[in-house]
A and B are shown apart, each in its own frame.
Chain A
Amino acid sequence: MRGSPDRGDPGIYVHVPFCRRICPYCDFAVTPRGRRGSERTARYRTALLAEIALRAAPLGADTVYFGGGTPSLLPPDAVRELVASLVAAGLAAPAPFVILEANPEDLVRDEGLARAWAAAGVSGVSLGAQSLDRDRLRFLGRLHSPDDVRRAAAMLLDAGIPWRSMDLIYGDAAQSSAALEAELEAAAGLSGLTHLSVYELTIEAGTPFGRRAAAGERLISAETAALFRSVHETLAGVGFVAYEASSFARSKRDRSPHNPKYWTGAAYLGLGPSAHSFDPDRRARSWNHRTIAPWRDAVLRGELPVEGAEVLTARERALETVFLGLRTVAGLDLDAFAAAWGDAVVAANRDRFRRWEASGLVRTGGGRLAPTLDGLAVGDALAREVDLGLVADERAAAA
């Protein structure tokens, strides 16, 4: 499971399942930190070290991404310790690029936190801002204020953290496109941000928003196509260039060193509850127990905390390659695709690709099928249309 030049080196994802409060739209594997939060975090840390030991192997990942949940609830020394043990176990290469998701309220509560992270080897922070508008923050159930976001961003810059990103959510019913543009411009103008992830609000079943929507409440804007376009155009206008449907960077260098691994088929190892792992050589994906208790019980027993696994058929993997590739501005590498799944598959779709190009959805050339902005907005629809009938669909025996 080594890296390869076209997919990129392996990456590690560490899931931190705690939050101060659960946001009404969130369907991640999270749990309220609770009153005895530090105790729970400590037990979680022990279990995570156990999982690292269990999984020790010469993977040599060049990125370690702490996601959640709210990784900013982890003490900096825990971050340092976990990264060190990942390196020691061979899972991470020495001095990996470490990224941490952080909520603004955690940063503003503790003046020294950003610096402590930097000292612990954190190279990137993704700030869970979601909005810069007070009312929208309230609607989204967030604990911080617009001002907290500004201060947190400034702290990251001050602390010398080289990669500074921020998450934003748009597309709730109340948001006008003018308000969206204003918010995006404000976000882009915040000191020192190098990267933005801008997501459309998605209503998930089983969440409070899911229940409200099911009861007939309109939570999502009817104009998501227009808003999507507006996000991309506004950000391009202020120097943030899209490299994926929801990802924007000031320059090529500022792109996330970690996230593209998912889209290009790199290997990744997920640690912690609910985390997924992928081994491209075996086309094998597996996922950990979703909740903390069974995950921890398994690792403490010395067993892999795996809840499920699949070995993809060639066609399944080809479909993933297509829809993930079409999320990216670079698009689908047709030469690599043909090499992997056969020239005939690409040939069978040539007419389709040509029609897309005529409709202004993609550009072909340089052996790639690169979505335009219009194409990016409907990447999933395009992926549904690609004919993969020629790719074998037999399931290999799980190795």
Chain B
Amino acid sequence: MKKGRAAVPGSRVRNFCIIAHVDHGKSTLADRLIQRCGGVSDREFRDQLLDSMDLERERGITIKSNTVSLFHIGPDGETYQLNLIDTPGHVDFSHEVRRSLMSCEGALLLVDAAQGVEAQTVANYFVAMEYDLEVVPVINKVDLPAADPERVMEEIDDELGLDPFSSILASAKTGLGVEEVIGAVVERIPPPSGEEEAPLRALIFDAQYDAFRGVVLLLRIVDGSMRRGDRVRLMRGERDYQVEEVGRLGLRREPVDRLGAGSVGYAICGIRRIREIAIGDTVIAGGDSAAEPLPGYREARPVVFSSVYPMSTDDYGVLEKALGKLALNDPALTYERESSTALGFGFRCGFLGLLHLDVVQERLQREHGLSLLLSAPSVRYHVSTKVGEVHSIENPAHYPDPAQILGAEEPFIRATILIPDRSVGPVMELLAERRVAKTGMNYLSSRRVEIHAELPLAEVLFDFHDRLKTVTHGYGSYDYELLDYRATKLVKVDILVNGDRVDALSQLVHETKARPRALAYCERLSEAIPMHNFKIAVQGAIGGKIIARTNIRALRKDVTAKCYGGDITRKRKLLEKQKEGKRRMKQVGNVQIPQSAFVAVLKSSPGA
């Protein structure tokens, strides 16, 4: 084990994160800071260094927060330890931001000099305020031709109420202003205030899974210290563990002798399963019964659900293993086994949002070589029945008999939408289409408007972001938080093929969306089901009531023109081959539906 660098006293530790709207340059600024502090050799360097997942690199987005400890010689000649956390910008991963903010004393709030303040800028700033952090505004990308730092300063003033003159003009691309950023981190962000001599209290702000070492806890030591050999207890888990290793989070894990109050680092304690721990839990000394837990997190809970089936039924086992592996590092991902008549065995999975779903799907496909089929995403409804039970239902398969249903509720969100004032009309129209319950509006400046809207989560899941961008000509952005459950008129739409229900295509939707959704599915399905030798009716139904219908015409001709002595062997072989191909199709009643049809129906966005 390599000997660590001498511990930096708490007064010279700075814990900070970089927060911003999507794509404003957090990860790029992190690169510059790492390089400036000599955290990486030129040979090791690559862009968005902290985005270590292939997927993050390919998509150019941050999915998980990443922590790195940097060292910097301050103006006083002393060594400072700067613990930097790069956070994701996308709303699906906002819980990561919250977690990161909780383990810091300060935050760099990046604002793109061309885009200005956007919805997640505001949302993340407010969370930073909630935790009482020192916020340093950084106007990034000033090198862009479209950069307009004056306007952005105004927005920082008007929309965030921050002192515009406290902001630093920077370009993470050219390196302009990076020194100044480091200076501000050292001077403006306070050191952690923990008591070195007090009993141990550490916050688990993240965890990783290492195939060899088990669970790696990422910790913020609030009080006391932690060293190898200590016995520690996870308060919520009510279990003691022996600390095997503590260390600092460089680009790799760097073991150190001890982690002192205020520091950020990792601990390995022989924990084998990630489910044994809870992010947000407090680590205390073993046997300490008097400790008060630190304020924890709201745990990230899945809000979007989809059934995931392997294209090849033989891959069910592979899928199960793969999900288990992903869930190790992604506690927000849930999965439970289910089966469909049409698609065989699969899993009902829960996600934080559609981007999360997308990311998980892509990792399953890429890292585990799986070919998958996903059902239409659904939110979780509350359905109350006449016998007085309330069911949480996110799977159409579990929807009770409508005759037994008293009522249903669906999750509502509060969306915060930032737009130029000339887009108010179109955005209001968009919201109306999305069953908005309540809107409020205030001018942030003479040209910029903030709209608050309460609307169903199900209505923003699909193409809301794209539509918002379209109607605002690219200038709108939004953020949301879950609000509560409200009464809704829910129906279950089934898709029937010649009268037989295709279970994998059933959906729970609002009454008013049932018909267009059913029709869109019917149309796509009829296009994708190949010729059959009889007419096929594809119908959308609510219970016994047909609400949409398309027909697939009876087949084209399917008989060889000529079949005499010399043709028979060839023809038979062809039929045998085709019969084999048919075996691989999914059978619904007397209709064969190829997998490609499910893909065609499910891959495209719901459209209605």
Contact = CB atoms under 8 A, between A and B. Distances in A.
A-B complex: 7 closest residue pairs judged by Cβ atoms? A378-B533, A359-B534, A199-B561, A379-B559, A381-B558, A224-B557, A200-B561
A185 interface: no
A378 B534 CA distance: 9
B563 interface: yes
B127 interface: no
A380 B575 contact: yes
A382 interface: yes
A134 B118 CA distance: 73
Interface string A308-323: 0010000010011001
B557 A327 contact: no
B582 A384 contact: yes
Given A262-B563, A377-B558, 8 more contacts: A270-B565, A270-B566, A275-B566, A356-B533, A374-B533, A378-B557, A380-B558, A384-B582
Q: Provide the main secondary structure of the chain B interface.
A: loop
B562 interface: yes
Given A262-B568, A375-B533, A378-B555, A384 B575 contact: yes
B575 A276 contact: no
B559 A327 contact: yes
A310 B568 CA distance: 12
A202 B554 contact: no
B576 interface: yes
Nearest to A200: B561
B560 interface: yes
29 contacts: A67-B564, A199-B561, A199-B562, A200-B557, A202-B562, A225-B555, A225-B556, A225-B557, A246-B561, A246-B562, A270-B565, A276-B565, A310-B569, A319-B572, A319-B576, A323-B571, A323-B572, A324-B563, A355-B590, A359-B533, A359-B534, A359-B535, A374-B554, A378-B558, A379-B558, A379-B559, A381-B559, A384-B578, A384-B579
A382 B565 contact: no
B564 A262 contact: yes
A361 interface: yes
Contact of A274 (B535, B557, B566): B566
B590 A285 contact: no
Interface of A: 13, 67, 199-202, 224-225, 227-228, 245-246, 259, 262-263, 268, 270, 274-278, 285, 287, 310, 316, 319-320, 323-324, 327, 352, 355-356, 359-361, 374-385
Contacts, number: 110
Nearest to A167: B562
Interface of B: 531-535, 554-566, 568-569, 571-572, 575-576, 578-579, 582, 590
A285 B566 CA distance: 10
A245 B559 contact: yes
Given A13-B565, A262-B565, A276-B565, A380 B560 contact: yes
A361 B565 contact: no
Contacts of A316: 572, 576
A323 B554 CA distance: 19
A35 to B, nearest CB: 28
A377 B558 CA distance: 6
Of B557, B575, B579, most buried by chain A (CB within 10 Å of CB) is: B557
Nearest to A278: B565
Contacts of B578: 384
B216 to A, nearest CB: 53
A284 B181 CA distance: 87
A41 B251 CA distance: 86
